[in-house]
Amino acid sequence: MAAEGGNGKGAAGPSGPRTYPDFSAPTVDKVMVEERAAALGKRSIKKEAKVAGLLLSIAMMDLTTLEGKDSPGKVTQLCQKAMRPHASPEVPPCAAICVYPKLVPVAKHALAGSSVKVASVATAFPSGLSALDVKLDDVRRAVAWGADEIDMVIDRGALLAGEKTRIFDEIAATKEACGSAHLKVILETGELGTYDLVREASQIAMLAGADFIKTSTGKVTPAATPAVTLVMLEAIRDFFYATGKRIGMKPAGGIRTAKQALHYLVLVKETLGDAWLTPDLFRLGASTLLNDVLMQLETQRTGAYQSGDYFSKD
Amino acid sequence: MARAKDKDTAGAPARTDERENGFVPPARLSVRKAYKMLVGGQFVRSESGRYIQVADPMSLGGTKENVPWASRKDVRDAVVVARGAWEGWSGRTAYNRGQILYRLAEMLEARQGELARSLERGGLEASRAATETAVAIDRVVSYAGWADKYQSLFSSLNPVAGPHFNFTVPESMGVVGVVAPARPALLGLLGAVLPIITAGNTAIVLASEEDPRTALVLGEALATSDLPGGVINVLTGRAAELLPHLAKHMEVAALDLHGVTPELARKAEEAAIVNVKRVRTRSIDEAAWFDADGATSPRWIERFVEMKTIWHPSGA
């Protein structure tokens, strides 16, 4: 049970002991959570409902490029695509572009005047294995360059070693470094091993001040799965009941098909309800997903199955 | 001990029947086979759960057998895997494709009896079934030979008025949809598909509606050959239902239609306009499929290649 709101008051300095909220979280029934997550993927969503769901998934998409070879040209092109994913007017812009800090100014310039936000990974992404001041500097710089949202990674090694308070402090310090920028906390669930630890990590992140919790960096398999997303959604639900605060959710990594996107929307709807079906509280982190969704929309519009050859690659 | 005993009795005439050994064979339940389509190297039923009933004259009491009745979505799934297989298949050396085709002939040879029996069950006399199977296997060998030879026949060095080398070479097209002829069910299917895959394309075949079961038996041989999954995908169902979806699909590069009614062919050609698909119809009578000279002409390969012309400065 969360004893207090959990808004971190900044990094704990070497001065004096501090008290922490209760991190304990209920254990997760592995079999049932996988069963329920899979069952929620079996809905038949057709015609108008499918089109509405696909359009919503585009509006919730964090169009992502996180490669070592990312260039200003590629990011600019991706920004154009995020602002206008398709020629047809009913297709909305994506929610955000997600890039490395160095490319934030490029994205900011390309997206000027649009509704598309700039999200930047930071804190020594993807491993998070750097000194805290280096990580915080990374965050402050990304914010100074214009990032609206920061996607931080937690130090999984520390969490697996049981250093929960350290994770809490780092998240709280990062939240402070973000200033007005929104903070998404990447748990990298593929490295945590158990659903129990995912649930606990979610709890720590939310108590420490995360605006969003996010499954994965996309650099580790397994990345987002429906089951792990369901565990995190349930943590968000219980946190809401306990504190009245609405925390956002972002599954990322391995979401490539329109069908998967709809599956995640069903998970959100069934766990958290309509209030969370907005880009302010739910995002899909993906790079290749957008084309598949656009192809499905074209299939619905024309009645003919589409080919990737007719859609821009980046 | 037991070995020594065996040795003692080895010389004696083997008159010991099962009963003497105390073994009475139990009455068996018949083990009936679920025939499945071949998509991406996997044996699949139709996602729709539909079946077509096919007569089984060799069974007692004239029962019928179920073969899958493919749906629009099965076509879609097959196109996805065929497209996925295309890069690998067309990227192999021509010589390697020839070797793989020859390996397919080896696999078919081993299943000759089963294929012939299936043709019989599909309504052919035993002698005709045996002939068709033999000719079909020989057809595979012929195209295995063509695999690294047709390129030289279709390519040309073009005289141009300028300091350039100018040459034209054939390339594969991509995914080709095939409607196999009703008869001959086995030879017609292979005869239609072989030139297409020899050229480096991948294929989705809608099998003969008169004898769909044989195509599925063939699929079992295809799956055990070295042919990569997805190069030949075999669907059974109704061409009139499935062809329009294949023809509309933006990922399909060409169609090869055999024995399709003029109305259906016209419908396919109209739907094919969206991505300027190449549509070829081929109506030859049953006997022509057996004519080795005519049916193994490299002109059949030429129908599904794209000619690429390259200008290169010669410096002269």
Catalytic residue among A62, A148, A151, A292: A151
Q: Is A214 a catalytic residue?
A: yes
What residues in B contact A307, CB-CB < 8 Å? Answer: 83, 249-251, 275
Site of tokens 């073994």: B23
Of all residues in chain B, the one with the smallest CA distance to A295 is B250
Q: Using alpha carbons, list the distances in angstroms from residue B52 to B36, B183, B209, B221, B313.
A: 12, 18, 10, 22, 59
- Residue A120, amino acid: S
Q: Using alpha carbons, list the distances in angstroms from residue B27 to B17, B21, B30.
A: 17, 18, 10
pLDDT at B21: 73
> Does the distance separating the beta carbons of A310 and B250 come in below 8 Å?
yes
Q: Report the C-alpha gap between B172 and B192 in whole angstroms.
A: 16
Size of interface A-B (CB pairs under 8 A): 26
Instruction: Work out the pLDDT band at A8, boundaries 50, 70, 90.
Output: very low
Q: Report the C-alpha gap between B272 and B252 in whole angstroms.
A: 9
Q: Report the C-alpha gap between A247 and A239 in whole angstroms.
A: 8
Residues A170-183: tens digit of each pLDDT: 999 999 999 999 99
What residues in A contact B275, CB-CB < 8 Å? Answer: 307, 310
* Domain contains A195: yes
pLDDT at A16: 62
In eight-state DSSP terms, residue A121 is E
Residues A274-300: tens digit of each pLDDT: 999 999 999 999 999 999 999 999 999
* Domain contains A2: no
pLDDT at B8: 47
Catalytic residue among A155, A214, A238, A292: A214
How many angstroms from the chain centroid is the CA of residue B14? Answer: 46
Whether residue A103 is predicted with pLDDT greater than 90 in this model: the reply is yes
Q: Is A250 a catalytic residue?
A: yes
pLDDT at A14: 55
* Domain contains A9: no
Residues B10-49: tens digit of each pLDDT: 444 555 555 567 888 889 888 888 999 999 999 999 999 9
Site of tokens 């995640």: A264
CB A305 within 8 A of CB B249: yes
| Pairing verdict, β B51-55 and B64-68 | antiparallel
* Domain contains A24: no
Q: Report the C-alpha gap between A169 and A280 in whole angstroms.
A: 25
Whether residue A138 is predicted with pLDDT greater than 90 in this model: the reply is yes
Q: Report the C-alpha gap between B233 and B78 in whole angstroms.
A: 7
Whether residue A10 is predicted with pLDDT greater than 80 in this model: the reply is no
pLDDT at A311: 93
Residues B155-169: tens digit of each pLDDT: 999 999 989 999 999
* Domain contains A189: yes
Q: Which uninterrupted H or E stretch holds A227?
A: helix A226-243
Q: What's the CATH code of the domain at A250? A: 3.20.20.70
In eight-state DSSP terms, residue B209 is S
pLDDT at A214: 97
pLDDT at B57: 80
pLDDT at A95: 98
> Does the distance separating the beta carbons of B251 and A307 come in below 8 Å?
yes
**Residue from A307, A309, A310 whose CB has the most chain B CBs within 10 Å, to mutate:** A307
Whether residue A225 is predicted with pLDDT greater than 50 in this model: the reply is yes
> Between A305, A309, A310, which is nearest B79 by CB?
A305
* Domain contains A310: no
How much is the ipTM here? 0.82
Low-confidence ranges of chain B (pLDDT < 70): 1-20, 60-61, 316
> Between B83, B248, B251, which is nearest A303 by CB?
B248
Q: How many domains does chain A have?
A: 1
Domain boundaries, chain B: 37-313
Domain that holds residue A161: 30-298
* Domain contains A304: no
Chain B nearest-CA distance from A65, in A, is 24
What residues in A contact B79, CB-CB < 8 Å? Answer: 305
Q: Which of B51, B96, B65, B68 is nearest to B219 (CA)?
A: B68
pLDDT at B55: 87
Q: Enumerate residues 6+ apart whose C-beta is below 8 A from B116.
A: B126, B129, B130, B132, B133
H helices of A84-147, in order, are: 104-110, 132-144
Q: Which of B237, B312, B251, B214 is nearest to B49 (CA)?
A: B237
- CATH superfamily for B37-313 is Aldehyde Dehydrogenase; Chain A, domain 1 (3.40.605.10)
pLDDT at B20: 60
DSSP reduced 3-state for A261: helix
> Does the distance separating the beta carbons of B245 and A306 come in below 8 Å?
no
